[in-house]
Structure 1
């Protein structure tokens, strides 16, 4: 059984596994302070490939809709290597499974013939003010040959649960955060999650140290939010040898909208290799989730 969250190996790193493929270009504007393509820009490649795949498979409008929105209930993105500018990327897409709850799509990114990232997306149908059954024509078009996957447990999506996260950051959403359907875009939510992470890591902003994102598990539970007051809540969940896990919650106008769980790796900038988190554990306790 294919389980999102397990490290993709074998056929899942091979381009021929993905019947739909799309060439994409990296842009200078995609670069971050580590001088590689930013994690949200990488997410945008997965989103673009998924959208083009849906446009090919489905008769209904996909990149816009006046009734039923096809949107991720959850995305789990694994960064298997750095994506670099200005080299092109090839994105591949395969449909794995579909039922009433949603369709499981997997996208992969390839650069220099190497798989640099994989994203699992549980695509659902949002109707007005809640999730509805995935329409039968959509289920039929996205049916794959894999059984239903066992996704990792979800984080609590509740404003009261977020209150236990020690790091708090207020934001105001922007017009640019809206998508063609006038709701917060998928990338805006991903960017909010990134801001929550970045605002929590001042103790690790030191000369000679860098951070790489290894995995982001993003659950979006509302697609009826537009511009409003955004609140980000973040806390340190676990610490390993060279990596640690941050949990985050996003509310819009007080409504719990999304959760994010991110695995980050501390690196030595000179060797560009993982380095122990141990010397910084005490300082990081200030954002630890009790």
Structure 2
């Protein structure tokens, strides 16, 4: 076996400290941890936390791209190209989790939804999901109305 001069698996560093502040995120919401989400260690499990990121993202997508989850009426689809989650602190049940959401990057046919989960003032997880806009022919430009909304929510 030969040694490669590059890492096949990049090391993903910890999130920027600014990502840990609620005030960074222009949109907020709430999620409730369920007892069924508790693992053998007494924590709300990581899949449940990822589900909270996903639900915040899906609600946002439905508002920004009306009908995107209704195949009969949608004009574009959204597909996930990349999803990176950092779990930063334990969450114990019962817990009300505050969600924060903004746009981390905006391209021509894709954008990054950046979310964070907070228990009190503690950031317990951040997630960055790259979504690609598709039409029947493949990647498509982000519709202008959606682009305007995404632009207004860029993290800075």
Name the TM tier (shorter chain). 0.7 to 0.9
Distance of 1:145 and 1:25 partners within structure 2: 26
The alpha carbon displacement at 1:59 in A equals 5.0
TM-score by length of 2: 0.78
Q: Within 1, Cα distance between the matches of 2:86 and 2:141?
A: 26
User: Greater RCO between the two (CA within 8 Å, min separation 6)?
Assistant: 2
| CA deviation vs aligned residue, 1:22-77 (integer Å, no higher than 9, x gap) | 01100011122332112211111001111222334x25224433343213211100
- Say whether 1:64 aligns with 2:67: no
| Contact 1:103/1:139 (8 A) holds in 2 | no
Instruction: Tell me the secondary structure at the aligned position of residue 78 of structure 2.
Output: strand
2:82 corresponds to which of 48, 51, 74: 74
16 and 102 in structure 1: CA distance in 2 versus 1, 3 angstrom threshold: same
Superposition pairs of residues 36-47 of structure 1, within 5 angstroms: 36-47=43-54
- How far apart, CA to CA, are the structure 2 residues paired with 1:131 and 1:30? 37
- Over the residues paired in the alignment, what is the CA RMSD in angstroms? 2.5
Mapped partners of 1:146, 1:16: distance in 2:
10
Structure 1 moving runs of 4+ over 3 Å: 62-67, 144-147
Q: Does 1:110 align with 2:118?
A: yes
Aligned residue pairs: how many?
142
Task: Give 1:78 deviation, angstroms.
Answer: 0.5
Are the structure 2 counterparts of residues 41 and 134 from structure 1 closer, same or farther at C-alpha, using a change threshold of 3 Å? farther
Provide the residue aligned with 2:36 in structure 1.
29
Question: Cα–Cα, structure 1 residues 107 and 146, in superposed 2: closer, same or farther, change >3 Å?
Answer: closer
Separation in structure 2 between the aligned mates of residue 86 and residue 135 of structure 1, nearest angstrom? 39
CA distance in structure 2 between the aligned counterparts of 1:69 and 1:100, rounded to whole angstroms: 15
| Structure 2 partner of 1:96 | 104
Q: Which runs of 5+ in 2 are unaligned?
A: 1-11
Q: Could you say which structure has the larger radius of gyration?
A: 1
- Cα separation, 2, equivalents of 1:79 and 1:59: 28
What runs of 5+ residues in structure 1 fail to find an aligned partner?
Answer: 148-290
